[in-house]
Structure 1
């Protein structure tokens, strides 16, 4: 474990500088560089094992970043590694033809997720969310997708809108304006979207009453997981289900983060609300690039004959499918979710206790192994409430102190803390000791 006195990142800084000579910005995703809070640059990883990561300077970290969520079984899980190695050696890597393992993995998803009667594999969350929207539009003959402020559904031009919009550009809280999330996104895509505040049933009802004849789908994370963690209000998901069912609107749950994490059947099983279509990734592959879209048989059959296009050279490649099958097999072990939730509860309760002893008001919000905390005296229920707290200098200061003490988290509170199936009580206790020391070191910066 790193200590504040011995912590050094000189080799990481040199490696990051060298990477910038050949990689634009030195990283391959916007969440990994200085613009995302990694200042002066990110730690450069040497290796990972279980719930631990080592950087090139030799610093050891307890990992709660977990690659932004995919590593639900930690790093180099022996069952995952063996399954992928066996698939490569005994089957091959890809064929652009069916093979038996892909149907076996698909069956496991169908048996796990309440909404899924048929499934198709893809490679990323962005990709399968786009496919879900296409399916909904083709099935309903309507064009508009409703999405919610503060949620992230991938980087594609069609949906990277109003993720974290500047409030000055975002319009009224109850009827937000669609704001592109990046330069280079054509304005025309915004006309195919309607943006609403999260956790506001009245806003949904008003929009559907006015524009229901245009709306193909309501797309939502069942647990908001890209603005910290904001759980659904009591009855909110049920209301979305009732409204969409009554108005010929497809309800899509983006379970890229929550899927297989908060329950084997995802957030829809956890909350008991079944959507029409579901997208899955991250925990599905346990660290390998695999995703899936699935749902009601009648909806998924629109792609069956190829008239509504779903395609991809790398879809259902053997490596990805073997990883998915293995990840789900691990998650079927008796008691695994009870242990996962107990470990997360030990951690979140301990974090709350540390802040209480320090006299720092916070709201710890999450569902089991996905959580974040806000320097707020009141719960955060939607993006507008979260916006003043995002990219908090307090949080960044604390994250730096945690890094110096061997706890790996993202430096921005936009992102989450994740707990894996291989975190244990000893690592949590180590984390909490480091956390208390980090809060003490951050000191006055947390109380301003």
Structure 2
């Protein structure tokens, strides 16, 4: 049974077996608006990390970020602008692209056939800060009624649903940097329960003083002033990361449903996924990232030697980078698989980062090339990682593994197989 006749959660049907495939991409990043513009910049090694201009960052310990600056009136109707944060505007732009790329108009499909499931780390912080300032300086009557939802972490899901008339299974995931993969995995579960098409991934960003202070407090931001030194994972000079904004949305469908809909191009198949959580500090137990990788490969029925590229989480903090390097080497063997972290050009995008890596992996499989990790000049783990640096590497990978970690102990791994 498919969503054309209803959801099994409602009708009492049993979960179905699906082959989840990616049929559309929507990307917003500091290096490009749209998947193809972003991909061209990624292959060229173009960086979008620069000093913050959204607000005066003097006096803060961190000053670098990957900003996505747009003229919203060029992309969205004016009625949406008073009720949306910058983050949500980016999500709406990505949603327009992903549905167009997939050739899917939810209003032309059965009423409950399409759902939305996104990841976020918080919500519309910039909008929230502006309204709180109005409250403090002018009083409650000057606070926008839209504040009631514009700051909330599920707001992207809600606004995408409203704009495109989507009424199927929807929700939101909060797992910081791991959230993008977790959202797509939950979207796959909705396919098994009968939904025909899911819009999923993550668009995030909090480049305002309120969000900036929160990110600095996490202890992960770089204090570097040179953009080329702002995010150096797996480098001996690593000193944190530059944050960014943006991410990616993907359309995920069962392969049979996609073919029945007339889809002519598939980016890849989501073959396996797993999530783990690190034990509490002082427990005596080690990090759980390797277990997430092992489980995802097992569920995908994929051997480590079949994997053609690993998209690393790439924390930018020396200790966390060492943990990831060791986990990758333990699973795949020292220097046995190309490893890349193209997010060094965009910054870490909170809940948008893993979704962008998944979209990048889909483009990598499509074009048979591994994108480079920029700015890395002094590899810290040369005996463990075959880090792709400087130039793209044409290796025609068939299977990619995407890794993601969230602040507080979240670990996720997803296996993407090239469409055959």
TM surpasses 0.5 = no
More strand by share: 2
TM interval, shorter chain, is under 0.3
Task: State the TM-score, normalized to the length of structure 1.
Answer: 0.24
Task: State the TM-score, normalized to the length of structure 2.
Answer: 0.25
Bigger radius of gyration, 1 or 2?
A: 1
